[in-house]
Structure 1
Amino acid sequence: MITFMLIALIVFLFTSMPIFVAMTLSAFLAVLFFSDIQPMILIQRLFGGIDQFALMALPFFIFAANIMERGGLSERILRWARAIVGHLAGGVAYTAQLSSMFFGALSGSSPATVMAIGKIIYPEMLRKNYQPSFSGGLLASAGAVSLVIPPSITLIIYGSVTGVSVGQLFLAGIGAGIILGISSIVYIAIYARKHDLHRDKKATAREFLVATRKAGWALLIPVIIMGGIYTGTFTPTEAAGVSAVYALLISVFIYKEMDLKKLYRVCVDSAVTSAQVLVLVAAAQVLGWMLTRGQVPQLIASLISENITSVILFLLVLNVVLLVLGMFMEGVAAIIIVAPLIFPAATALGVDPVHLGVIMIANLAIGMYTPPFGINIFVTQNITKQNMIQMMPGLVRFLAANIVALIIITYVPDAALFVLRLVE
């Protein structure tokens, strides 16, 4: 039964069938023809898969991210970041990286970050004579960091399928996101010095204060989310609701860039995105239940424990597999499929479950812009109008920088988890 289901799943995926259809249909056909299980049980598993308190955070964070994109928050964050680093050589590139990290902390969505920041910053980079390939690589890689920095949707999914605390994952994601961001900043510094990139006039104290005041309401969102979770004021799920209400209030009453027409569009887009994510979660729960019933996770854990006794080797293999998987599959789908299979083997080898989550998300973040199929590449192409060959040099260089960061995240746990360690 399990063999048929896996073969059917692979065949369906290669025929470009939607992932949730491929997962549910392969499971249904296996049950129908190769077992005495009542098909109605799969329907119950579908609904049971999304009947989780942690998953209530998803639609709220998605709603908040869409409000931020259309409510003027991204533009104000860009101006604030530019006031800080614009006077450095390559200041526009630093601004793109820094503002992407902050917007990622607001939205939790990688493609949304690329689109929100890229539409504004890319024309400016061209005016300052930045190479198009460098600019495209920067936007694709900078947006990927938001997959790691909380409130990361992918971290929430990992927590829901493994039972790991979402609050702890959020705290760990801060450290990992900073490491990834710093690796890109180091490369930008090297590139800027080599090419003598443009510097803006240094912002005066007054200009910096004005930019901070205008962006202050937006910059408070991650403080509210993480501060509320850490102090126990609210759970991660409640934090999602608070962030959505807060973003709506400042977009409507403070920045005054959200009208009823925009709000309607935000609600529709958020509902569609939430449905897309949650139907994947439901389908994966059916697939996961079938695999568990067939003892597949236990078999994988047994094979790994018998053949890979070194944690270093296990993590190396895991990184390679996830980097390749990230090229072909969106982060949420990859976590849903892989995490339940890998989790038992990793914990059996003594890998910290929180650290494992950060490693997996960091890999998938890099996979978001890894040629030739990384999703962020296609979003960036929509902005820059470059083809793959034109973007490749920039993508490869940022990829190399982030691989160094991934090695640090993987093999220096205290560096990746330093924020979590501080609050424990």
Structure 2
Amino acid sequence: MITVLFILLFALLFLSSPVFISLSLSALLAFVLYTDMPLTVVAQRMFGGIDKFALMSIPFFILGANVMKVGGIARRILNWAYTLVGGLKGGLALTTEVACMFFGAVSGSSPATVVAIGGLMYPALKEKQYGGGFSVGLITASGSVALLIPPSISAIIYGAVTGVSVGALFMAGLGAGILYGIVYLLYCYWYARKAGVPVDKKASYAEKWRATKEASWALGIPAIIMGGIYLGIFTPTEASGIAAVYAIFVSMFIYKEMDLKSLFKTCIISAEATAQVMILLAAASVFGWILTVGQVPQSLAQFIIDSNFGPVAFLMMINIILVIAGMFIDGSSAIIIIAPLVYPIAMQLGINPVHLGVIMVANAAIGMFTPPFGLNLFVAQPATGESMVNIIKGVMPFVLISLVALLLITYLPDVSLIIPRMVYGPTV
């Protein structure tokens, strides 16, 4: 049954079927051919896959990200970041990465970050002599940090399929996301020195104060999300709703760049994006259940134990599998499929489940812009106007830089675990 299941899955993916159809149809056919249970079980499993409290936060975070993009919040974050680092060597590239980190902290969406920041920064990067390849690569890759910096939809999905605390995952993602961003910042600085990019004038203290004041309402969103969770005021799910309402209030009544008509359009777009995520989760739930019935997790765990893989080799194997998977399917899909298989094995090897989640999310982040099918590649095309060939050439150095960051996140677990251990205790 399992052999037929995977043959059907890869055949459908090869035929360019949507991922949710590939997962659900292959599982359905294997179910019909090899079991005598009623088909209603499939519907029950699909519903059960999305009937989880943690998943309620996804539509709110998606709505919040779209509101920020339309309501002027992204632009103010960008201006604020430029006053901080724009006067350094490679200042505009550093601004792009810093802005992506902060926008990721208020959106949780990598494609939304590329659209919001890329459309504004790409022409400026080319004008400042950074080169088209570097500029489009930076725009396409920098948005990936949004998957690590909380709130992260990928972290929510990992928590939903494994039962790990989403709050702890958010805390761990903060440390890992900062490390990931620092690696990018160092590369941007090195590139600017090598390419001889001219240095812009440093912003005055008055300009920094003015930009900070204008962006203060926007910067309040990550403070609300992380501060509320850190202090135990509300759960990550409740934080998502509060953040969305806050973003709408700021966009409509403080910045006044959003009216009811644009809010309605934003809600429609957000509902469509939410439906895409939820149907993917439902389909993956059925697929995962078929794997469990076929004893795949148990057999894989026994194979790894019999092979005497240690934690170091096991984590490297997971990274290799996920990097390859990220070339062909989106990171959330990869987490949904692979996490239930590797999670029990990791527990037997003594690997921290929160750290494992951060590693998987980091891989998902890299997969967002890894050729040939990384979603950010296709999002960056209309945002920059570049051809797909130029975009792929531009991102390749950033793929290598990201792999360096991934290895640091994988083998320096304290970077991820220091904050959740401060909040939840040493048992995390």
After superposition, the C-alpha distances for 1:85-137 in whole angstroms (9 at most, x for unaligned) are 11112111111000000001111000110010000011111221220000011
Q: Offset of 1:148 from its aligned partner?
A: 0.9
Tell me the CA shift for residue 233 of structure 1: 0.6
Kept after mapping to 1: 8 A contact 2:130/2:192: no
Establish whether residue 115 from structure 1 lines up as the match of residue 115 from structure 2: yes
**Whole-Å separation in 2 of the counterparts to 1:46 and 1:394:** 39
Partner residue of 2:4? 4
Q: Which residue does 2:405 correspond to in 1? A: 405
Counterparts of 1:371 and 1:13 in 2: how far apart (Å)?
16
Is 1:134–1:391's contact at 8 Å kept on the other side of the alignment?
A: no
In the alignment, which residue of structure 2 is the partner of 1:129?
Answer: 129
Q: 1:146 to 1:134 in 2, by over 3 A?
A: same
Q: State the Cα distance separating 1:372 from its structure 2 match.
A: 2.7
Please tell me whether the aligned partners of residues 61 and 151 of structure 2 are also in contact (alpha carbons under 8 angstroms): yes
- The corresponding residue for 1:338 is 338
Contact 1:134 1:393 in 2 (8 A): no
Distance in 2 separating the partners of 1:81 and 1:413 = 29
Q: What's the CA shift for 1:236? A: 0.6
Q: Which amino acid aligns with 2:330?
A: E
Note the 1:214-225 alignment, pairs <5 A.
Answer: 214-225=214-225
Q: Which residue of 2 aligns with 1:258?
A: 258
Report deviation, 1:388.
4.2
Counterpart residue type for residue 263 of structure 1:
L
Q: Could you tell me which residue of structure 2 aligns to residue 72 of structure 1?
A: 72
Q: How many residues align?
A: 424
Distance 1:164 1:323 in 2: 22
The runs of 4+ residues in structure 1 deviating greater than 4 Å are: none
| 8 Å Cα contact 1:179/1:416 also seen in 2 | no
The 3 A distance-change label for structure 1 pair 320 and 77 is same
Give 1:208's aligned residue. 208
Determine the structure 1 residue equivalent to 2:98: 98
Q: Deviations over 1:373-424 (max 9, x none)?
A: 2221222222223234434453222222221111110011012323223333
Counterparts of residues 189-208 of structure 1 (less than 5 Å): 189-208=189-208
Answer whether contact 1:63 1:267 (CA < 8 A) is retained: yes
- Cα distance between partner residues in 1 of 2:177 and 2:37: 44
Report the counterpart of residue 327 of structure 2 in structure 1. 327
Counterpart in 2 of 1:367?
A: 367
Show CA shifts across 1:345-376 (max 9, x none). Answer: 11111110000000011112112112232221
The yes-or-no answer on 1:241 pairing with 2:241 is yes
Q: Is the 8 A contact 1:61 1:108 kept in 2?
A: yes
Specify the code of the residue in structure 2 equivalent to 1:348.
Answer: Q
Residue 213 of structure 1 aligns to which amino acid in structure 2?
K
Structure 1 residues 35 and 110, CA, compared in 2 at 3 Å: closer, same or farther?
Answer: same
Task: Please give the alpha-carbon distance, in whole angstroms, between the structure 2 residues aligned to 1:387 and 1:120.
Answer: 18
State the alpha-carbon separation in 1 of the partners of residues 319 and 303 from structure 2: 18
Distance 1:196 1:421 in 2: 43
Structure 2 counterpart of 1:175, one-letter code: G
Farther-moved stretch of structure 1 (341-350 vs 271-280): 341-350
Structure-2 separation of matches of 1:4 and 1:394: 39
Give the structure 1 partner of residue 148 of structure 2: 148
Which residue number corresponds to residue 305 of structure 2? 305
Cα pair 1:169 1:358 within 8 Å, conserved: yes
One-letter amino acid of the structure 2 residue matched with residue 181 of structure 1: G
TM value normalised by structure 2: 0.96
| Residue number in structure 1 paired with 2:381 | 381
Q: 2:333 is aligned with what amino acid?
A: A
Amino acid paired to 1:415:
V
CA deviation map 1:126-182 (0-9, x unaligned): 221220000011111110111111100000000000000000000000011111100
**Amino acid of the structure 1 residue aligned with 2:75:** E
Residue of structure 2 in register with 1:30 after alignment:
30
**8 A contact 1:97–1:181 mirrored in 2:** yes
> 1:382 & 1:10 partners in 2: Cα distance?
29
Secondary structure in 2 aligned to 1:38? coil
Structure 1 residue ranges without an equivalent (≥5): none
Q: Which runs of 5+ in 2 are unaligned?
A: none
Superposed CA deviations along residues 266-315 of structure 1, whole A, max 9, x for unmatched, are 11011000000001111111111111111111111111111142111111
1:51 aligns with 2:51: yes
For the residue of structure 2 that corresponds to 1:328, the secondary structure is coil
SS of alignment partner, residue 121 of structure 1? helix
Q: Is the 8 A contact 1:71 1:257 kept in 2?
A: yes
**Mapped partners of 1:392, 1:285: distance in 2:** 32
1: distance between equivalents of 2:174 and 2:195?
31
CA-based RMSD = 1.3
- Tell me the secondary structure at the aligned position of residue 234 of structure 2: coil
| Contact 1:308–1:314, Cα closer than 8 Å, also in 2 | no
- Name the residue aligned to 1:268: 268
Secondary structure in 1 matching 2:327: helix
User: 1:234-288: CA deviations, max 9, x gaps?
Assistant: 1110000000100000000000011122111111011000000001111111111
CA distance in 2: counterparts of 1:248 and 1:92, whole angstroms: 29
Decide whether the 8 Å contact of 2:154 with 2:364 is kept in 1.
Answer: no
Structure 1 Cα separation of the partners of residues 192 and 138 of structure 2: 13
The separation in 2 between residues aligned to 1:375 and 1:240, in whole angstroms, is 24
Amino acid at match of 2:37: I
Deviates more, 1:258-267 or 1:301-310: 301-310
Following TM superposition, by how much is the alpha carbon of 1:195 offset from its aligned partner in structure 2, in angstroms?
A: 1.9
